[in-house]
């Protein structure tokens, strides 16, 4: 398993798919990185040499792409800012409700969690 930017990526996957295991790199960016470094997209990540791994890491830093810890801190900071100014979006994040206008009367179970039944009492 090769390490790129202190992240273990699976060696048995083709390179564009393996790069997606790095937080902040999606399908489009992974394909772009593989094309810029002139590597074969069908190669497995385990067959990369140290020089090729360093080439990918340099390309990520040279393009100014924020990944892993920096990106996670930025996203967390954005959420804290929204909550601190008590914006509508910040309040929805704080309460664990859908943020982007979805309905909550039905559905929204993914965001709200398991059903908490209220008002049912056992009969003696």
pLDDT tens string 36-54: 999 999 999 888 888 998 9
For residue 71, name the pLDDT band (cuts at 50, 70, 90).
Answer: very high
Q: Do 83 and 103 lie in a common domain? A: yes
For residues 78 and 54, membership in a common domain is answered with no
**Which residue, 45, 38, 55, is CA-closest to 8?**
45
The residues, any chain, with a CB within 8 Å of residue 75's CB and separated by 6 or more, are none
pTM of the model: 0.76
- pLDDT score of 123 more than 90: no
Are 91 and 46 members of one domain?
Answer: no
- Tally of structural domains, the chain: 2
Higher pLDDT, 29 or 119: 29
Q: Would residue 121 count as lying in a domain?
A: no
In a domain, 118, yes or no: no
Task: Give me 9's structure tokens.
Answer: 């990526």
Q: How confident is the model at residue 124 (pLDDT cuts 50, 70, 90)?
A: low
Residue 92 lies in a domain: yes
Give yes or no: residues 34 and 83 share one domain.
Answer: no
Return the sign of the alpha-carbon dihedral for residues 69, 31, 10, 21. Answer: positive
Q: Do 14 and 39 fall within a single domain?
A: yes
List, as one string, the DSSP characters of the chain: --EETTEE--TTSBHHHHHTTSTT--HHHHHHHHHHTT--TTSBGGG--HHHHHHHHHHHHHTT---HHHHHHHHHHHHHHHHHTT-HHHHHHHHT--SSS---SS--HHHH-S----S-----
Domain span at residue 79 reads 69-112
User: Are residue 84 and residue 53 in the same domain, yes or no?
Assistant: no
- As a whole-number percent, the residues of the chain with pLDDT over 70 amount to 99
| pLDDT higher than 90, residue 8 | no
8/44 same-domain check: yes
Point out the least confidently predicted range of 9-13, 89-93, 116-120.
116-120
Report yes or no on 119 lying in a domain. Answer: no
């Amino acid at each position: 398993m090769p390490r790129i930017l202190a992240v273990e990526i699976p060696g048995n996957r083709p390179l564009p798919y393996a790069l997606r295991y790095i937080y902040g790199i999606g399908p489009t960016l992974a394909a772009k990185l593989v094309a810029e470094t002139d590597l074969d997209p069908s190669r497995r990540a385990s067959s990369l040499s140290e020089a090729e791994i360093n080439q990918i890491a340099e390309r990520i830093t040279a393009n100014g792409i924020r990944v892993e810890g920096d990106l996670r801190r930025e996203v967390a900071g954005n959420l804290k800012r929204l909550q601190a100014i008590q914006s509508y979006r910040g309040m929805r994040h704080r309460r664990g409700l859908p943020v982007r206008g979805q309905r909550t009367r039905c559905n929204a179970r993914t965001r709200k969690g398991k059903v908490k039944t209220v008002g049912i009492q056992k009969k003696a």
